[in-house]
Amino acid sequence: MKYTGDWRIDEMELWEADYLNMEVEAFISIDKRGDGQFQFGLVSGHIDGEVIKRKTETRLEFTWEGNDECDEASGSGWLQLRDDDTLDGEIKFHGGDRSSLVATRIKN
């Protein structure tokens, strides 16, 4: 699965880099089933994802549960490969904000 691996979140529409990397370097980690985890700023969560194929595109769509500044949080999102090493996507908080994002593959 092309989404498998560790990705550094480089940009988010709603938050600056100082916030994104406040506690750890902002990341998304996806396993071969499409599940994983993420953290940016004081938001962290577990991803339950699946690859969805449409006529003209393929993307990983997911729901997530976790925390936002120690408060329970949840939402949904999607990730789509721009190229082998770059993801475009969006993360949405249930009943709240949504932000686009760009992430690059972390080479181990």
> Which amino acid is residue 57, in one-letter code?
E
Q: What is the pLDDT of residue 52?
A: 95
Q: Report whether pLDDT(1) > 90.
A: no
Q: How confident is the model at residue 94 (pLDDT cuts 50, 70, 90)?
A: very high
Burial of 19 (0-12, 13-18, 19+ CB in 10 A): middle
Q: What is the pLDDT of residue 108?
A: 72
Q: What is the pLDDT of residue 107?
A: 87
Average pLDDT rounded to a whole number, residues 10-38: 96
Q: What is the pLDDT of residue 9?
A: 98
Residue pLDDT, tens place only, 32-87: 999 999 999 999 999 999 999 998 899 999 999 999 999 999 999 999 999 999 99
DSSP the chain: -TT-EEEEEEEESSS-HHHHTSSS--EEEE-TTS-EEEEETTEEEEEEEEEEE-SS-EEEEEEEEEEETTEEEEEEEEEEEEETTEEEEEEEETTS-EEEEEEEEPP-
Q: Higher model confidence: residue 108 or residue 25? A: 25
Distances in Å between the Cα of 88 and the Cα atoms of 20, 65, 84 are 16, 20, 11
Nearest CA to 45 among 24, 75, 79, 14?
75
Q: What is the pLDDT of residue 18?
A: 93
